[in-house]
RNA sequence: GCUGGGGUGACAGAGAGGCCAAUGUGACCGCCUGCAGAGCGGUUUCCCGUGGGUUCGAUUCCCACCCCCAGCUCCA
């Protein structure tokens, strides 16, 4: 069975066939690191994390590159306004690189907490200045860029004549409304040959802090350039999958693609599959700071187990606009608990002599793969796993060995969805032995019919987030 | 205006031309429990935005209409 992915270049689901058998080059547009990661960012990164894990699970050797933008992303119109990093640094009274260092460190911490697989490379724009300048040079040499007052623009019209300029899909440049956002100012428009032209290299204003010498001016690179250059450097002139948020369908990715083609001039497609994830809304509305529906990962991690957050991400489809809310997160928590309960309960069983799960294991592997092969249908995969968990719950009489393999399989597949399960948690809690002691006392009370006292112990432990569950095999507890 | 995605049972959210519409949450009943929880069983909900068409048969295909969301150089 093979994976089918929705390719924005053709607007259709296509069979995924890697360039080289068994290996996959994957590039994901990462974050401009001037502020904290929010749920929306995390949702998108989780999608690529699942893609990476799934491909790996299917036996591919995945090389995953995700960039970190630390210069060149402007706050305002294309090629105008302030550099986002500089602006944020100034507000916080930090050196730009100090802010970047700080944010990058935090970013890694949060990515790690969210159980994101470590990427092979996280290249940064500032570390690739030489390569970017070389790229601009070759684009000029190839006739697809021109300089105006120290700033170098990409000549979209020329490029479109020679190679076409599909906007990753059916649209063309002509269908765009010039300055639809009403943010492109007159003088920049007059400097460009065409309003669609975008900057490769930008001459720095005197007060600009982050700037580098180049043949054209003391300046800095345009935002789109870094991804072209770093992707080509680490994954080659042509690679398999390039991912990003829907917002990159235009202009970031078409520009990136055009740059790559203009750089090499082989005319070939630099990327085989362009994959984009939809943005989430929060409480039904577009997330924004002013609406007060803006959640950072840091905030969420204060109140929620990362596994809950990952369960939420796995429960939605990466290409569907989905709504995030604390209620939705609560439901994800319940869903996760169902899995955890199954694993915990099944582990405590002694087992019998049946083998009903044997066939069901074959079934779930097939169903899981079928769902995931269909453009990473994680909601469907998730529902199948829940069904499988339900089957395990009914298989108390299966052989112990089979039960063990079934729970391992469940964990394995959940891990492909990025959901971590750590069943050993209970015993690692500080003071666990005292809880055991209390429960032993409670058991004696129960045997003597002193239920009121027994309940006091249970209720009190509950207040301390210790959930006590009585089972035929005795009392069991876990942290909530 | 252009482009894309949607409208499914109380809610969230899958699905497929027919195998009487997954899964989770909520509610209710039962089993199990001293009670609770977890688990199990059952109930709660279907002709799936509206109107046409194609078909032996459509919620799934086609057409029209209504509504919603997103993008169109800030954004994952």
Checking if the pLDDT of A158 tops 80, the result is: yes
Tokens 């399989």 — which residue? A409
A252 and A382 within one domain: no
Checking if the pLDDT of A106 tops 90, the result is: yes
What is the CB neighbour count within 10 angstroms for residue A154? 27
Band (pLDDT 50/70/90 cuts) for residue A429 is low
Give A280's DSSP letter: P
A469 and A438 within one domain: yes
A233 and A199 within one domain: yes
Which residues, 6 or more positions from A299, have their beta carbon under 8 angstroms from its beta carbon? none
CB-based contact A263:A135 (threshold 8 Å): yes
Domain housing A396: 304-416
A101 and A77 within one domain: yes
Distance CA A444, CA A467 (A): 19
Nearest partner of A71 among A253, A251, A204, A238, judged by Cα: A204
Question: Span A432-456, mean pLDDT?
Answer: 89
Among A247, A282, A317, the domain-final residue is A282
Which nucleotide is closest to A31, CA to C1'?
B76
How far CA A200 is from CA of A6, A101, A161, A233, A434, in Å, comes to 29, 25, 19, 17, 65
Q: Which CATH number characterizes residue A36's domain? A: 3.40.50.620
CA atom of A307 to C1′ atom of B34, Å: 35
Nearest-5° Cα angle at A311, A308 to A316: 135
Distance CA A116, CA A111 (A): 5
A225 CB less than 7 Å from any atom of strand B: no
Nearest partner of A139 among A127, A148, A147, judged by Cα: A147
> Strand B: which of residues 381-420 in chain A lie with Cβ below 7 A?
382-383, 386-387, 389-390, 393-394
Enter the ipTM.
0.92
The beta strands (E) that lie in A16-60 are given as 23-28
A440 and A379 within one domain: no
A247 and A124 within one domain: yes
A469 CB less than 7 Å from any atom of strand B: yes
Band (pLDDT 50/70/90 cuts) for residue A80 is low
A411 and A434 within one domain: no
Which string of DSSP letters, residue by residue, matches A324-336? E-HHHHHHHHHHH
Question: Span A186-207, mean pLDDT?
Answer: 78
Which tens digit of pLDDT belongs to each residue from A23-68? 999 999 999 888 899 999 999 999 999 999 999 999 999 999 999 9
Band (pLDDT 50/70/90 cuts) for residue A179 is very low
Per the structure, how many domains does chain A have?
Answer: 3
A365 CB less than 7 Å from any atom of strand B: no
């Amino acid at each position: 069975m093979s994976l089918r992915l929705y390719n924005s270049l053709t607007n259709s689901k296509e069979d995924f066939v890697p360039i080289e058998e068994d290996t996959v080059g994957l590039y994901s547009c990462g974050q401009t690191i001037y502020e904290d990661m929010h749920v929306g960012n995390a949702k998108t990164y989780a999608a690529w994390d699942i893609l990476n894990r799934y491909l790996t699970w299917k036996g591919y050797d995945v090389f995953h590159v995700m960039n970190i933008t630390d210069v060149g992303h402007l706050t305002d119109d294309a090629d105008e306004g302030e550099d986002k990093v500089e602006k944020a640094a100034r507000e916080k009274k930090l050196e730009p690189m100090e802010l970047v260092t700080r944010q990058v460190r935090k970013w890694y911490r949060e990515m790690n907490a969210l159980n994101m697989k470590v990427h092979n490379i996280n290249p940064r724009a500032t570390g690739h200045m030489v390569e970017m300048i070389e790229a601009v040079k070759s684009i000029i040499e190839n006739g697809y860029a021109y300089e105006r007052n120290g700033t170098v623009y990409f000549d979209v019209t020329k490029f479109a004549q020679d190679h076409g300029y599909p906007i990753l899909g059916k649209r063309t440049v002509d269908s765009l409304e010039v300055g639809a956002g009403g943010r492109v100012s007159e003088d920049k428009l007059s400097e460009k040959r065409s309003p669609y032209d975008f900057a490769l290299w930008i001459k720095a204003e005197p007060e600009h802090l982050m700037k580098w010498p180049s043949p054209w001016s003391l300046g800095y690179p345009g935002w789109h350039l870094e991804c072209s250059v770093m992707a080509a450097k680490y994954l080659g002139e042509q690679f398999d999958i390039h991912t990003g948020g829907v917002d990159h369908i235009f202009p970031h990715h078409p520009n990136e693609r055009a740059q790559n083609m203009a750089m090499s001039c082989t005319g070939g497609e630099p990327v085989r599959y362009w994959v984009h994830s939809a943005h989430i809304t929060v409480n039904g509305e577009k997330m924004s700071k002013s609406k007060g529906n803006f959640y950072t990962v840091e905030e969420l991690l204060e109140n929620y187990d990362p596994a809950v957050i990952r369960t939420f991400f796995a429960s939605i489809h990466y290409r569907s606009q989905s709504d995030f809310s604390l209620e939705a997160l609560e439901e994800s928590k319940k869903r996760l608990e169902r899995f955890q309960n199954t694993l915990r309960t099944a582990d405590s069983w002694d087992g019998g002599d049946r083998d009903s799960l044997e066939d069901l294991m074959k079934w779930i592997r097939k169903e899981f793969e079928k769902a995931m092969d269909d453009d990473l249908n994680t909601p469907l995969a998730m529902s199948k796993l829940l069904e499988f968990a339900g089957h395990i719950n009914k298989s108390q009489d299966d052989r112990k060995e089979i039960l063990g393999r079934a729970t391992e399989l469940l964990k394995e597949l959940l891990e492909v969805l990025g959901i971590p399960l750590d069943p050993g948690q209970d015993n690692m809690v500080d003071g666990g032995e005292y809880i055991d002691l209390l429960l032993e006392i409670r058991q004696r009370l129960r045997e003597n019919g002193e239920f009121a006292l027994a309940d006091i112990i249970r209720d009190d432990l509950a207040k301390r987030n210790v959930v006590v569950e009585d089972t035929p095999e005795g009392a069991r507890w876990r942290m909530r």
